[in-house]
Structure 1
């Protein structure tokens, strides 16, 4: 009877089970040791990393903000440093898109901050200037850094209270979409230097080369409208010269409406069918 009982035991599985328990026990002991060591580990170094293409904020400003609120960080135990509170406070800075704070076993505290990226600067009627970032949020203008983005001005009545805020009016939403389209194309980002909103609330493009009034209208069908503008520069301008027209209207579907400058005199208006 006894020999049969021992024969029925799967010794290999039993050995695996014992080994697994031993490994688990070792891991629990190691985790306990690490936890005890991390609670005693002092912060030896603070590293601040600012990510993004802009320069709204600097490393020293981030560090100064944290030290002002939480005191000197170096020399304190890592366990006593409220990293989640720090992340929350850094995200309150209008120019910060995201923030993470981490520590390691060597006592290094690492702060990673990603900046917001501006798409366009808005100069409104009477209110403060502001930028719109890639997420479509309004943020304040910096006194020390000016990003190279299109400027929009004219008849823009958009409220702004100096903090992160969403866009309200359709005109500003159309400006944002237009500026984002321009920034994504190297040709248009080089040629279009400014956006202007006229009294009819139409967006006009201010070109780097030429003095034409280029009427875009709203942000509908931007691909189509800019292809018509490309046709104007590539097909019409070589035949007439860059100064032949005082306005180019892209608002109407299927055509480009070009108004000649008076000094050229052949016709008051030319309508070129859109053959793109």
Structure 2
């Protein structure tokens, strides 16, 4: 008995095989193209560029090319060390992160993110002033831009490498809460912190200083300060007191 040939089935197998061969050829071609194509140009993108102005695209490109001595445009991509370029760029400590990769269009893409400062630390131990971001990382000031943010001072910061280390969580949280609150951020200009961690706040308006104490029961104390500023000072006058304390729970002591 003769077997019938299923031409439809054979046709489907032939089409599937042809498609598979096409995919393999495309992968090989794409791989070969990727390894032999040359860099057309350098494309720099800076995240949060509208928030801070520590760096610009020209400076990033200068770091990537070693001030122009390492020509990247026109070079074969398989001769470009992407990780090495990232390391060069990250030498600028105002940069939080960097990714270097080849774009589909043949550009060398450099994506960077700046640190966003929440406070400036006035060092008293001979070190240069630094910024700290909301994660507690210290990074240097910039010659091209000065951020208008709260100042931190006092013996507490002597020899302190960062606010990322254990035991600094409460103080960092306090700084971040101020920075996130439009009213407090505008009113508080400086925090002076002694060796024991007691905080004195210097406000923008008024001739008083604020004794805050350690970074404990933070939200409750800040709420009491807001009530003081919104309900008491408008009545008594901004220069009526020289010393305000919220160090003790449930109290606002005025002198």
TM over 0.5: yes
> Which residue number corresponds to residue 154 of structure 2?
154
Partner of 1:112: 111
The residue aligned with 2:132 is: 132
Aligned partners of 1:175 and 1:203 also within 8 Å: no
Paired with 2:109 and 2:35, the residues of 1 have a C-alpha distance of 17
Does the C-alpha gap of structure 1 residues 183 and 16 become closer, same or farther in structure 2, counting only changes over 3 Å? farther
Report deviation, 1:243. Answer: 1.9
Supply the distance in 2 between the matched residues of 1:96 and 1:221 (Cα, whole angstroms).
34
Residue 239 (structure 2) pairs with residue 243 (structure 1): yes
Name the CA distance, whole Å, in 2 between partners of 1:211 and 1:174: 28
Measured at CA, do residues 126 and 105 of structure 1 come closer, stay the same or move farther in structure 2, by a change above 3 Å? closer
Structure 1 counterpart of 2:63: 65
Distance in 2 separating the partners of 1:201 and 1:134: 19
Contact 2:95 2:112 in 1 (8 A): yes
What are the residue-to-residue correspondences of 1:42-57 with 2, within 5 Å?
Answer: 42-52=38-48, 53-57=51-55
Task: Return the alpha-carbon distance in structure 2 between the equivalents of residues 243 and 138 of structure 1.
Answer: 36
| Structure 1, unpaired ranges of 5+ | 260-276
Q: TM-score, normalised by structure 2?
A: 0.87
Superposed displacement of residue 199, structure 1: 6.6
User: Would the alpha carbon gap of residues 77 and 103 (structure 1) be closer, same or farther in structure 2, given more than 3 Å must change?
Assistant: same
Question: Which moves more between the two structures, 174-183 or 39-48?
Answer: 174-183
Counterpart of 2:184 in structure 1 is 188
Q: Relative to total residues, which structure has the larger strand share, 1 or 2?
A: 1
Q: Tell me how far 1:87 sits from its aligned partner.
A: 2.1
| Bigger-Rg structure (1/2) | 1
Query: 1:175-217: CA deviations, max 9, x gaps?
Result: 4322211110111111111111247641111111111111111
- Partners of 1:84 and 1:32 in 2: CA distance: 25
Structure 1 CA distance, aligned partners of 2:250 and 2:104? 66
State the TM-score, normalized to the length of structure 1.
Answer: 0.81
Report whether the alignment pairs 1:218 with 2:218: no
Report the Cα offset of residue 29 of structure 1.
0.4
User: Once the two structures are superposed, what CA deviation does each residue of 1:210-245 show, in whole Å capped at 9, x if it has no partner?
Assistant: 111111112222221111001112222233222222
Q: Which runs of 4+ in 1 moved over 6 A?
A: none
- Number of matched pairs: 251
Given the alignment of the two structures, is residue 89 of structure 1 paired with residue 88 of structure 2, yes or no?
yes
- Contact 1:101 1:109 (C-alpha < 8 Å) held by counterparts: yes
CA RMSD of aligned residues (A): 2.5
Residue 145 of structure 1 and its aligned partner are, at CA, apart by: 1.9
Between the aligned partners of 1:116 and 1:13, the Cα distance in structure 2 is 61
Q: Distance in 2 between matches of 1:54 and 1:105?
A: 29
Specify every segment of 5 or more residues in structure 2 that has no aligned partner in the other structure, as ranges.
none
The 5-angstrom pairing of residues 246-257 of structure 1 reads 246-257=242-253
Distance 2:8 2:253 in 1: 87
8 Å Cα contact 1:210/1:242 also seen in 2: yes
Write out per-residue CA displacement over residues 72-108 of structure 1, whole angstroms, 9 at most, x where no aligned residue.
0111112211112222332343111111112234321
